[in-house]
Amino acid sequence: MLHNIFICFLYIFINFAESNINAMAGLYVHIPICRHKCLYCDFYSCGEKAVDADALIACICEEMRRRRKELYDDRNLFQDFSRPLFDTVYIGGGTPSLLTENQLRKLLREIYAIFNIKEGAEVTIEVNPDDVTADLCAVLKECGVNRISAGIQSLVDKELLAVGRRHNADTARRAMGLLSEHFDNCSFDLIFGLPGQTFQSWKYSVDEVMAYRPKHISCYSLMYEEGTALTLLRDQGRIKESNEILSEKMFGYIQRAAADHNYIQYEISNYAQPGFESRHNSSYWCGAPYLGIGPGAHSYDGDRKRRANTPDSRKYIKHFSSVEDKPFYEEEILSDAELKEEYLLTRLRMRKGFSREDYVAHFGGIDDIAPRLNRLLSEGLLIEEGGYIKIAPEHIMMSDAIIVELF
């Protein structure tokens, strides 16, 4: 009898522990191949000719096999669980849509074979509009992909050209049409603050993209990252950065247009029709664990451990072609202060914000930030509503500056 109670308790514990991690764990696969580099991009990627894509996919599959239990082992959960469950899968890059049909089939087949992808999981792949064909859509659907993220960025040719995108506005329109026909859950990316972009041309791109009624729209401000060709061009005086007032006006326009079309701004840069918030990205912002596979991919154990794979495809292929099973990542253990910063940065990105109870549950008290928190609340930069602290809607564009005031 006692033995049965113990087994029953153990079963409940394991299922609880398992569901606790499984409800949120995400798998990210990085395909670091691009046809050419966009001028603003600082993600790790290399040219198509610089890497053997067949070998890369074989090595990604090998890395998945070697690290398949990592998230579970890190959290001392179910040490011998043979096929960990994932709630979301995200294949990003780079440009995963440059992979051939065979490479895509192999990659997705292996993901489903090595891991246990939860029924109803969100499975996303990023595509470049130039690569979208009816055949590609059919293959992706057949392989279990149910969400597409397409980098549309603008529907004005000269703006696309100015930042070195390889597609043009017509290709983007054709891609949005095809994707909307084949997939119920599409996300289209837009960028504001592009060189030469005016308020009218931004409005034109936003209105036209919204007419396709994608379930999700991501909308980023153009960033001038260190070491990119775009930053160099600006520093040489060959292009002009969009001014802050115009950028704010553009940001305000997408917020209004999104609200008018029944989209919820659930994160600073992301808008979704109700129920179509990106589950994968939301779990990053909620501090959920994820396993990142591929050159340059990052992982997080949901606690203190972050791991970053070396961003070098050639070394990656050499490493995973060898039978020697050594890590290919660098590990960082987050300090208490870093955990708090991370918590505030991610939670306040979300429109929902965070509750005092949740902060206390994570850090044992809230006195450490109370004086700064109260000041920002009294200044109206933060608001407290329904038990949640969040950035005041009218100050959302300066979120980063407000959040660092809390550190």
Closest of 368, 336, 371, 373 to residue 354, by C-alpha: 373
- Of 30-38, 222-230, 238-246, 303-311, the segment contacting ligand SF4 by CB under 6 A is 30-38
One-letter amino acid for residue 404 of the chain: V
> What are the structure tokens assigned to 77, written together?
């959960």
Q: Can you name the residues that pair with 127 across neighbouring β-strands?
A: 150
> What are the structure tokens assigned to 2, written together?
């006692």
How many degrees, rounded to 5, is the angle at CA 71 between CA 70 and CA 74? 80
With respect to ligand SF4, which residue has the nearer C-beta, 40 or 290? 40
In this structure, the chain runs to a length of 407
Residue 310 buriedness (CB in 10 A; 0-12 / 13-18 / 19+): middle
Q: Is 265 helix (H, G, I), strand (E, B) or coil?
A: strand
* 174 vs 162: CA distance, rounded Å: 21
Q: Which secondary structure element, helix H or strand E, spans residue 109, and what is its range?
A: helix 101-114
Query: Is position 224 an interface residue for ligand SF4 (rule: CB under 6 A)?
Result: no
Q: Can you name the residues that pair with 383 across neighbouring β-strands?
A: 390
With respect to ligand SF4, which residue has the nearer C-beta, 84 or 129? 129
With respect to ligand SF4, which residue has the nearer C-beta, 125 or 350? 125
With respect to ligand SF4, which residue has the nearer C-beta, 176 or 406? 176
- Of 40-48, 199-207, 258-266, 316-324, the segment contacting ligand SF4 by CB under 6 A is 40-48
CB 127, CB 96: distance < 8 Å:
yes
Instruction: Figure out which of the listed residues 41, 139, 254, 288 binds ligand SF4, where binding follows CB under 6 A.
Output: 41
Closest approach, Cβ 200 to ligand SF4, in A, equals 25
> What are the structure tokens assigned to 236, written together?
């040489």
With respect to ligand SF4, which residue has the nearer C-beta, 165 or 306? 165
Closest of 212, 219, 278, 222 to residue 254, by C-alpha: 219
With respect to ligand SF4, which residue has the nearer C-beta, 231 or 265? 231
Query: Is position 45 an interface residue for ligand SF4 (rule: CB under 6 A)?
Result: yes
What x-and-dash track marks residues 127-166 binding ligand SF4 by CB under 6 A?
-x--------------------------------------
Query: Is position 43 an interface residue for ligand SF4 (rule: CB under 6 A)?
Result: yes
Phi first, then psi, for residue 99 (nearest 5°) are -70, 150
Instruction: Figure out which of the listed residues 25, 31, 38, 136 binds ligand SF4, where binding follows CB under 6 A.
Output: 38
- Of 38-46, 102-110, 173-181, 224-232, the segment contacting ligand SF4 by CB under 6 A is 38-46
Instruction: Tell which positions 94-133 bind ligand SF4, by CB under 6 A.
Output: 94-95, 128
With respect to ligand SF4, which residue has the nearer C-beta, 220 or 388? 220
- Of 3-11, 39-47, 139-147, 316-324, the segment contacting ligand SF4 by CB under 6 A is 39-47
Closest approach, Cβ 217 to ligand SF4, in A, equals 17
* 84 vs 375: CA distance, rounded Å: 45
* 339 vs 344: CA distance, rounded Å: 9
Phi first, then psi, for residue 32 (nearest 5°) are -90, 50
With respect to ligand SF4, which residue has the nearer C-beta, 129 or 353? 129
* 266 vs 273: CA distance, rounded Å: 10
Closest approach, Cβ 278 to ligand SF4, in A, equals 17
Q: Total residues at the site for ligand SF4 (CB under 6 A)?
A: 10
Counts for the chain of helices (H) and strands (E), in that order:
16, 16
Residue 2 buriedness (CB in 10 A; 0-12 / 13-18 / 19+): exposed
With respect to ligand SF4, which residue has the nearer C-beta, 150 or 391? 150
- Of 93-101, 114-122, 229-237, 284-292, the segment contacting ligand SF4 by CB under 6 A is 93-101
Instruction: Figure out which of the listed residues 26, 84, 93, 289 binds ligand SF4, where binding follows CB under 6 A.
Output: 93
With respect to ligand SF4, which residue has the nearer C-beta, 157 or 248? 157
Pairing of strands 298-300, 388-391: unpaired
Closest approach, Cβ 128 to ligand SF4, in A, equals 6
- DSSP label at 165? -
Binding site for ligand SF4 (CB under 6 A): 34, 37-38, 41, 43, 45, 93-95, 128
